[in-house]
Chains A and B, each alone.
Chain A
Amino acid sequence: MLLSPAMRVFLWGASALAFAFLSPGASAQKGPKPAAAQRSPDALRAIPLPPDAIGRLKSGDAGQLAAALDDVRMSGRAGAPAVPAITELLRRGLPLALSQSALETLADTESEAATETIAWYSHHRDTSLRRAAVVALGRTRGPAAIGALRAALSDPDVAVRGLSATGLGGLKANVAVGDLFVALDHKVNEAARSIGQLCLGNECDRLASKIGLVTFDVATSGLEPALLRPEEDVNDEVKVKIVGRVRELGTAEANRFLTGVQSKWPPRRSPRVKQALDQAVLATSASPGSSSGSMQ
Chain B
Amino acid sequence: MNRSILGVAALAAAVACGGGQTRSNLFSTDWEDDGGASIARVWQRVGGATVPRSAEVAIGVAGDADRMIGLPLDGGPKWTFAHPLDARPAVAGGVVIASGGGEVFALDASSGRLVWRRPGGGLRLVGAGDDGTVTVTVLRKPGGTGSVLLAVTHDGQVVRQVDTSRSLGAPAVLQRLAFVPWSGQYVSVLDVVNGDEAARVTLRDETSRAWTQGGSLWFGGGAFTRFDERIRDASKGKASRASIATRDLPGTPQLVPSGNAPVPAVAGAEDRVRAYARPIASASGAVIEDHRTYATYFRIAMGFDADKAKLTWVRLNGPSFVGGAAESGGVILCDEDGKITEIDGRTGGAVSTMDFGEPVKSCVVSVDARKVGGASEEVKGLPAQLAEAVLAGDPQLVAAQKMLLRELSALPADSATKALVELASDPRTSPALLADARSALAARRTGATYMVAALGRHYDFLKDVLLAPPVGPLAHALGAMKERAAAPYLAAHLFDPADTDDDVKEAAEALAAVGGASELPAMKQFFGMYRANASNDDMAAAVVSIARALLQIDGKAGRAALEAAAKDPMTAGEVRDRLGVMLRGPAAPAPAR
Contact = CB atoms under 8 A, between A and B. Distances in A.
B533 A155 contact: no
B565 interface: yes
Interface string A116-127: 000011011111
B497 A155 contact: yes
B531 A182 contact: no
Nearest to A183: B462
B533 A123 contact: no
Interface residues of A, number: 29
B461 A154 contact: yes
Nearest to B527: A93
Contacts of B460: 154
Contact of B569 (A62, A124, A130): A62
Given A123-B495, A125-B497, A125-B504, A154 B533 contact: no
Contacts of A120: 495, 525, 529
A123 B522 CA distance: 12
B527 A155 contact: no
A183 B535 CA distance: 31
Contacts of A99: 532-533
Contacts of A121: 529
Nearest to B575: A93
Interface in B439-462: 459-462
A155 B565 contact: no
A182 B462 contact: yes
A154 B463 contact: yes
A92 interface: yes
A120 B498 CA distance: 15
Contacts of B572: 95
Interface string A99-136: 10000000000000000000011011111001000000
Contacts of B34: none
Given A62-B569, A125-B504, A93 B528 contact: yes
Contacts of A127: 497
Contacts of A130: 497
Contact of B498 (A96, A156, A179, A183): A156
Interface in A151-184: 153-157, 161, 179, 182-183
Interface in B482-518: 495-498, 501, 504
Contacts of A18: none
Contacts of A92: 528, 565
Contact of B501 (A94, A125, A155): A125
Nearest to B500: A125
Nearest to A90: B528
Contacts of B528: 90-93
B497 A124 contact: yes
Given A91-B528, A125-B539, A126-B533, A161 B461 contact: yes
A156 B569 CA distance: 32
A179 B461 CA distance: 12
A186 interface: yes
A60 interface: yes
Contacts of B571: 93
B469 to A, nearest CB: 14
Interface in B331-379: none
Contact of B459 (A98, A124, A154): A154
Contacts of B527: 93
Nearest to A99: B533
A96 B501 CA distance: 17
Interface residues of B, number: 28
B570 A94 contact: yes
A99 B532 CA distance: 10
A150 B498 CA distance: 16
Given A62-B569, A93-B571, A186 B462 contact: yes
Given A154-B459, A154-B462, A123 B532 contact: no
Contacts of B533: 93-96, 99, 126
B532 A95 contact: yes
Nearest to B533: A96
B351 to A, nearest CB: 49
B576 to A, nearest CB: 12
A93 B462 contact: no
Interface string A46-80: 00000000000000101000000000000000000
Given A95-B533, A154-B459, A62 B570 contact: yes
B568 interface: yes
A94 B528 CA distance: 8
Interface string A180-216: 0011001000000000000000000000000000000
B530 interface: yes
B496 A123 contact: yes
Contacts of B461: 153-156, 161, 186
Contacts of A90: 528
Contacts of A60: 568, 570
A125 B479 CA distance: 23
A156 B466 CA distance: 8
Contacts of B529: 93, 120-121, 124
Nearest to A94: B532
Contact of B462 (A62, A94, A126, A153): A153
A93 B495 CA distance: 15
A93 B570 CA distance: 8
A93 B565 contact: yes
B132 to A, nearest CB: 72
A156 B459 contact: yes
A161 B568 CA distance: 34
Nearest to B465: A154
Contacts of B462: 153-154, 179, 182-183, 186
A226 B539 CA distance: 46
Nearest to A160: B497
A127 B535 CA distance: 13
A236 to B, nearest CB: 33
Given A154-B462, A179-B462, A93 B504 contact: no
Contacts of B463: 154
A290 B569 CA distance: 63
Contacts of B497: 123-125, 127, 130, 155-157
Nearest to A96: B533
Nearest to B495: A123
Contacts of A93: 527-533, 565, 570-571
Contacts of B570: 60, 62, 93-95, 98
10 contacts: A62-B569, A93-B528, A93-B571, A94-B533, A94-B570, A98-B570, A99-B532, A120-B529, A124-B529, A126-B535
Interface of A: 60, 62, 90-96, 98-99, 120-121, 123-127, 130, 153-157, 161, 179, 182-183, 186
Given A93-B533, A96-B535, 11 more contacts: A62-B569, A91-B528, A93-B527, A93-B528, A99-B532, A120-B525, A125-B497, A125-B504, A154-B461, A182-B462, A186-B462
Ranked 4 nearest A-B pairs via Cβ: A123-B495, A93-B532, A154-B461, A93-B528
